[in-house]
């Protein structure tokens, strides 16, 4: 109901034709123009004055009728707007509204007959009724009368209602008083209720004690927790099984006390040990590198001679005055070797020592066992390498267990249990007997070869052989000079044949014997002086070597009574040893400080290496031993020092291509055959 | 006990060893041959480093555990042994 509609109604397509009126209008226009110009010009100027851009048309064109059509379409409105519809997926023309709103006015007129109108009317009607009640009582009465009448007359309600309406309308018209509050009659009364002021009541309690906790949950912490749980459970099970007793409690208490006293150091014992080795390795790093990797390059030029590269030197301060009397390598741990300390001096006999070194830590021995008497020989069991048999100067033998804590031997022979009456020169472990008891043999200057068996807690001995009385070539009138019983000074068991062994004596003879019979199989007249060492060849079953203080080394074939080879070194020889890797290589030490290494395969008469390793004046070399695996030899002297050397490549020659004990044996065999030929 | 004491003394007297520190489970140095400030510094730093190294080893395999840690620097070598939550630290100048 706006002006809009009327406009719409007004705008209709109407053709206004300007037929004859065109000219007139145009003429009128012209006239207007003319008039205008005339008026503008100010004076009366007759004539056409055209503006300069006036379109020039011919008369025919001027007469042309031009029809103009008026329509309701908005010329400015675009007529080809298209919109994309997703529904139809195409562009569709949209309807453009052509209406132009020129004027809009919001009105508040309401149709009487519409709903809104009726509602408004009702409201106004009620309002006027109310005001009527306020103002006059009569009117009230009228109202009530009129109102009651419709109540009474049910059928005439509508009529009454209609009557009411005109009445009310009439009352409206009658009482058109402005509804202004009468300031005299009405007054505002206001009361304000009392607001209780809000108050805060709070109480603060003491905060619960807090502590910050941080932990990490790693895989291993979880694992540790599980392991601890397991252990706890196991402990609980054990506790349930074992009845608790007072003794246990007491011992537990004692344990606690002990623990508090030495918490500190025992816990790091292993770490300390390894650290000491690490420190030593750092100090002696060069030596370790040499040991592992150095090969003397000069060997190529010096062929066939070789050299010994000095490596570690070990000595123990408290054993300074003692000389090395025995050396033995450990088969299982090739870096561990045992050194027996004692004295060869008949007059000055004191205490001795048993030391074990490893070249991982060359500054301090791993195991130290002080002994009351000087150690003369030692042997480490082949399989159970913690068992060490030791022979003493005072004739007793002992067995030490390296695994046990104490410094005492686990077995020791005494006068009652058949110890020797003279120094024990050699001990040798043998295979376990029938009852799988360990046993070893010893030989001593009292002429006995004794077998000792470790039976539970004691050492049981059995005499194997009593070395025979040597018939003096002179008469028996000088018994004081000739010993009644031969003195055994060295012993060696055959490598392959268990029961066969050799004994060397003070008189220079070598006896070949068997363990299970006291009969001597053979006698060899070996040397003029005592036989210091006899050693079977590791590979060839028939060959053995012996050395003596008469400056000679002799190599034997046990089938032949005379030596196969003899070497005269011009110096008293302390010790000899076969090499474990070759059947034709052996080494000897002489008291002048020289180490001689022979390889019979290369040179049958001369040493490949003759090297001075200690100062002649200061020390005499006493023992030598080859390491079972590495190309190392250790040499002991009478000052208590043990020096280790690496063999240069020339000294370690092996036949190319083939390796093995058979080859070695064959090598020796060829050598022997060569030697036998001139015979 | 006495043996371990002797071993430690031998280590301290060895050639090239600058100092030794024994640290207990709580990270407090209980035995040292160096001065206090150096000791505390070494103890603290090496505790942290060894914990980190230990976590590394154990994260890969929880049944494994760190036993030794060896740090070689230009000037010296620091060797740390771990046992029973104790740390045994040796600083050595490798003789070259």
pLDDT value, residue A155: 44
∠ Cα A575 A576 A581 (to 5°): 145
For residues A442 and A338, what is the distance between their CA atoms, to the nearest angstrom?
A: 18
pLDDT value, residue A347: 72
**Both tokens assigned to A82:** 């298209």
Q: How many helices (H) and strands (E) does chain B have?
A: 2, 5
**Both tokens assigned to A407:** 């410094």
pLDDT value, residue A46: 67
∠ Cα A63 A64 A67 (to 5°): 130
pLDDT value, residue A579: 86
- Which chain A residues are Cβ-neighbours of B53 within 8 angstroms? none
**How many angstroms separate the CA of residue B32 from the nearest CA in chain A?**
13
pLDDT value, residue A599: 84
**Both tokens assigned to A220:** 């291993």
- Per-residue DSSP letters for A135-170? H-HHHHHHHHHHHHHHHH-STTHHHHHHHHHHHHHH
**Strands B77-83 and A90-93, sheet pairing:** unpaired
For residue B26, the SS3 value is: coil
- Which chain A residues are Cβ-neighbours of B92 within 8 angstroms? 279, 282
| pTM for the full predicted model | 0.63
pLDDT value, residue A235: 93
**Both tokens assigned to A36:** 């205008």
pLDDT value, residue A299: 73
Strand order in the sheet with A543-548: A531-536, A543-548, A552-557, A565-568
Q: Assess whether pLDDT exceeds 90 at residue B50.
A: yes
> Any chain B CB within 8 A of the CB of A313?
no
- Which chain B residues are Cβ-neighbours of A215 within 8 angstroms? none
- The closest CB to that of A266, out of B4, B24, B70, belongs to B4
Strand order in the sheet with A594-599: A573-578, A585-590, A594-599, A609-612
Low-confidence ranges of chain A (pLDDT < 70): 1-46, 128-183, 243-264, 415-418, 468-486, 655-660, 677-679
Tally the C-alpha atoms within 13 A of residue A362's C-alpha that lie toward its C-beta: 19
pLDDT confidence of B68, banded at 50, 70, 90? very high
Q: What share of chain A is helix, strand, coil (3-state, %, to 5)?
A: 25, 25, 45
Chain B, 38 to 67: residues with Cβ < 8 Å from chain A are: 55, 58-59, 62-63
Q: What is each CA distance from A129 to A47, A133, A167, in whole angstroms?
A: 81, 6, 10
Mean per-residue pLDDT of chain B: 89
pLDDT value, residue B42: 92
CB atoms within 10 A of CB A439: 22
HEC readout, A272-338: HHHHHHHHHHHHCHHHHHHHHHCCCCCHHHHCCCCCEEEEEEECCHHHCCCEEEEEEECCCCCCEEE
**Both tokens assigned to A597:** 């290494």
**How many angstroms separate the CA of residue A244 from the nearest CA in chain B?**
29
pLDDT value, residue B79: 92
CB contact under 8 A, A279 and B14: yes
Sequence-ordered list of residues with C-beta below 8 angstroms from that of A37, at least 6 positions apart, any chain: A45, A49
> Any chain B CB within 8 A of the CB of A215?
no
CB contact under 8 A, A274 and B10: no
> Measured in whole angstroms, how far is the alpha carbon of residue A575 from the centre of its chain?
50
> Measured in whole angstroms, how far is the alpha carbon of residue A409 from the centre of its chain?
42
Tens of pLDDT, residues A459-475: 777 777 777 665 544 44
CB contact under 8 A, A220 and B55: yes
pLDDT value, residue A178: 62
């Amino acid at each position: 109901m706006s002006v809009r509609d009327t406009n719409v109604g007004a705008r209709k397509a109407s053709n206004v034709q300007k037929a004859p009126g065109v000219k007139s209008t145009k003429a009128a226009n012209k006239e207007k123009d003319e008039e205008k110009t005339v008026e503008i010009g100010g004076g009366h100027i007759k004539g056409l004055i055209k503006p300069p851009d006036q379109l020039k048309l011919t008369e025919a064109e001027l007469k042309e009728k031009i029809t103009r059509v008026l329509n309701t379409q908005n010329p400015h409105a675009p007529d080809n707007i298209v919109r994309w519809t997703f529904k139809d997926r195409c562009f569709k023309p949209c309807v453009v509204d052509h209406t132009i709103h020129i004027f809009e006015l919001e009105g508040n007129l309401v149709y009487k007959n519409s709903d809104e109108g009726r509602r408004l009317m009702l409201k106004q009607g009620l309002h006027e009724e109310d005001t009527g009640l306020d103002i006059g009582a009569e009117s009230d009465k009228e109202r009530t009368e009129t109102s009651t009448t419709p109540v009474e007359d049910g059928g005439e309600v509508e009529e009454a209602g209609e009557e009411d309406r005109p009445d009310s309308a009439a009352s409206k018209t009658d009482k058109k008083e402005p509804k202004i509050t009468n300031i005299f009659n009405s007054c505002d009364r206001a009361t304000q209720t009392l607001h209780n002021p809000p108050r805060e009541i709070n109480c603060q309690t003491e905060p619960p004690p807090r502590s910050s906790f941080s932990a990490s949950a790693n895989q291993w912490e979880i694992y540790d927790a599980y392991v601890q749980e397991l252990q706890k459970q196991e402990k609980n099970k054990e506790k349930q099984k074992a009845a608790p007793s007072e003794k246990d409690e007491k011992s537990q208490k004692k344990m606690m006390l002990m623990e508090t006293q030495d918490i500190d150091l025992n816990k790091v014992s292993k770490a300390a040990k390894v650290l000491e080795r690490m420190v030593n390795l750092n100090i002696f790093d060069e030596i370790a590198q040499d040991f592992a990797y150095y090969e003397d390059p000069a060997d190529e030029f010096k062929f066939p001679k070789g050299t010994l590269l000095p490596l570690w030197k070990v000595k123990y301060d408290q054993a300074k005055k003692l000389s090395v009397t025995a050396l033995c390598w450990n088969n299982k741990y090739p870096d561990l070797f045992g050194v027996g300390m004692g004295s060869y001096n008949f007059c000055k006999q004191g205490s001795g020592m048993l030391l074990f070194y490893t070249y991982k830590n060359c500054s301090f021995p791993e195991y130290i066992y002080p002994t009351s008497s000087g150690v003369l020989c030692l042997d480490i069991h082949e399989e159970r390498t913690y068992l060490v048999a030791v022979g003493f100067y005072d004739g007793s033998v002992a067995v030490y267990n390296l695994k046990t804590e104490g410094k005492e031997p686990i077995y020791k022979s005494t006068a009652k249990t058949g110890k020797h009456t003279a120094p024990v020169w050699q001990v040798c472990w043998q295979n376990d007997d029938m009852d799988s008891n360990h046993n070893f043999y010893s030989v001593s200057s009292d002429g006995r070869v004794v077998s000792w068996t470790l039976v539970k807690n004691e050492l049981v001995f059995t005499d194997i052989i009593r070395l025979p009385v040597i018939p003096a070539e002179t008469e028996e009138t000088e018994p004081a000079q000739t010993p009644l019983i031969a003195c055994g000074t060295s012993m060696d068991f055959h490598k392959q044949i268990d029961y066969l062994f050799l004994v060397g004596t003070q008189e220079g003879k070598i006896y070949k014997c068997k363990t299970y019979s006291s009969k001597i199989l053979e006698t060899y007249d070996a040397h003029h002086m005592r036989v210091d060492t006899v050693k079977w060849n590791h590979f060839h079953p028939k060959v053995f070597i012996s050395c003596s203080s008469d400056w000679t080394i002799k190599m034997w074939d046990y089938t032949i009574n005379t030596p196969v080879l003899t070497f005269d070194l011009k110096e008293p020889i302390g010790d000899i040893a076969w090499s474990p890797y070759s059947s034709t290589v052996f080494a000897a030490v002489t008291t002048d400080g020289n180490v001689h290494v022979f390889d019979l395969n290369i040179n049958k008469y001369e040493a490949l290496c003759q090297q001075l390793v200690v100062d002649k004046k200061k020390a005499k070399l006493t023992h030598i031993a080859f390491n079972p695996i590495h190309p190392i030899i250790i040499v002991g002297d009478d000052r208590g020092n043990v020096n280790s050397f690496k063999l240069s490549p020339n000294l370690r020659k092996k036949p190319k291509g083939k390796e093995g004990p058979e080859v070695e044996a064959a090598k020796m065999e060829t050598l022997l055959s060569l030697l036998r030929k001139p015979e | 006990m006495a043996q371990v004491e002797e071993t430690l003394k031998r280590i301290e007297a060895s050639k090239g060893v600058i100092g030794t520190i024994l640290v207990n489970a709580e990270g407090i140095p209980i035995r040292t041959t160096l001065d206090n400030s150096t000791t505390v510094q070494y103890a603290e730093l090496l505790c942290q480093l060894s914990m980190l190294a230990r976590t590394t080893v154990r994260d890969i395999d929880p049944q494994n555990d760190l036993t030794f840690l060896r740090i070689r620097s230009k000037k010296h070598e620091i060797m740390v042994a771990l046992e029973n939550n104790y740390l045994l630290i040796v600083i050595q100048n490798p003789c070259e």
